[in-house]
Structure 1
C-alpha cells in the first residue's frame, strides 16, 4: 500500500511536468487600454484587466503598449524617445482650432465632414476609405491617423538630432499622415516595412514610406534600406532619387 507521503511526492512530481493553465503568459489590457506583457513593470499591479493570449491580439483589439515597453522584452526600445519630443499631440499652427488630425480627416474624406459643434473644430463623421484594407469608415472615432513613418522609428534613424521645430513639423506633415482603422494602426506600432505592411495597399504604402525617408534624410540601416528598395522594385514602382 502506497503511503500518503509517497502519493504526495508523486503528485508534486507530476505537477512539475504538467504546466498549470494560469502559468501560460497572459497579456493584461488595463482599463485605460494599455497592453501589459509579463515583462512590464506594471504587470503585477494591474488587477482590473481584459486578458489576451498575446500582444498582437491585445493590439488588434485597440490596445497599445506602454511607453518604453517592447513586445517581447528582448527587442530594442527607442532610447530617449518620448512622444512629447515631437510636440504635445496634434498641432494647430494656423490657429483655426482644427489641429492636424482634423485637417487630415477633412482632406481625405470623400464626403463633406460633420463637426461636433458650430465651432467646426472636431470632426465626428465623414467617409474615409482605409488604404490599409479598402474598408469604408464613417465614424471619426474609429479612425486613427497613422504616421506612415512612425515617430519612434524616425527617432532612432536621425530624428533625435533634429531641432524641436523640425520634429513637430514631421509629426504633423500631411504627407506622413494617413487615416486608417485604429486597430491596425496600433498593431503596426513603431515597426517599419521590413517588419509590418498593411493587408492591402502594400505597394503604395512602402513607396510613400521610402519617399518620406528620403525627403527627411532619415538613415535606415543598410538592411532596412535594401528591403524598402526591394519591395518598391517588386511593385514595379520606380524609386525617386
Structure 2
C-alpha cells in the first residue's frame, strides 16, 4: 500500500508540474516539497548552458557556525555521519571516531583524513545558476545542513579526484555507490533549482537506467 501511495503522489506531482521534456522555470517555491521518480526528476531539471565567468571559491562563505553551538558546518557533518562517534574537545575539536567514505569504499578513523564534499561542487553550482544568487544564498548553499545529501564526508583523495566535475566526467570509483550518488546529485540540483547542460543530462539519463526508479523527494531551499 505504501508503494502505491508513493507512486500516486509522484504521479500527481508530475502531472501538476511538468508538461515539457524539461522545466523552463522554477520547479517550486522555497519551503515547498516535491517527489517524483528518479527517471522523471532527471528529465525536469531546467536546462541551460554553463558559464564559470566570475567564479571564485570565496564567493561561497563556508564552514560557518549557523546555530552558534561552537561547531562549524564541517564538524556538524563529521558528527552526523560517523558510525563510531568521535570524541569532542574544546572548540569542537574532533578526534578518533570512524567513518565510511562511499566514494571509494574506504573506512577512515581520523577526522583529518576526511574532506567535506559538496555533492554538487561550488564551481558547478556557480556554473548552474548560483552565479546569479545573492551572497547570502551562496552561503546557505555552501553550509546546507537542511538536507543530508548536500554535504558528505569522504576521503581527501577521492574528493580531490572529483574536484569540480559533474557526472559527465566523474563518477565514484566505488561502483556500488553510483546509483545513490546520481540520485543525490539530482536531488541537490532540484533542491536548489540548479540547471544542467546537455552532457550532464545525458550522463544522468544513461547512468540511472540501471538504478531503482525510486522517488526523489526534496524540499526546495530557494
TM-score, normalization: structure 1?
0.63
- How many residue pairs get aligned? The number is 163
CA distance in 2, matches of 1:161, 1:96: 31
Q: Which moved more, 1:220-229 or 1:148-157?
A: 220-229
Segments of structure 2 that go 5 or more residues without pairing to the other structure are: 1-49, 218-222
* Maintained 8 Å contact 1:113/1:124: yes
Cross-structure match for 2:119: 148
* Maintained 8 Å contact 1:207/1:239: no
Cross-structure match for 1:191: 165
Segments of structure 1 that go 5 or more residues without pairing to the other structure are: 1-75
SS at match of 2:59: helix
- Which of 179, 202, 208 is equivalent to 1:226? 202
SS at match of 1:145: strand
- Which of 204, 212, 216 is equivalent to 1:236? 212
Cross-structure match for 1:21: none
* Maintained 8 Å contact 1:232/1:239: no
Cross-structure match for 2:108: 137
* Maintained 8 Å contact 1:150/1:191: yes
CA distance in 1, matches of 2:203, 2:158: 22
Cross-structure match for 1:78: 52
CA distance in 2, matches of 1:240, 1:124: 35
**What pairs up with 1:68-147 in 2 under 5 angstroms?**
78-87=52-61, 89-115=62-88, 117=89, 119-147=90-118
Q: RCO higher in 1 or 2 (8 Å CA, sep ≥ 6)?
A: 2
TM-score, normalization: structure 2?
0.69
- How far residue 110 of structure 1 moved from its aligned partner, in angstroms, is 0.7
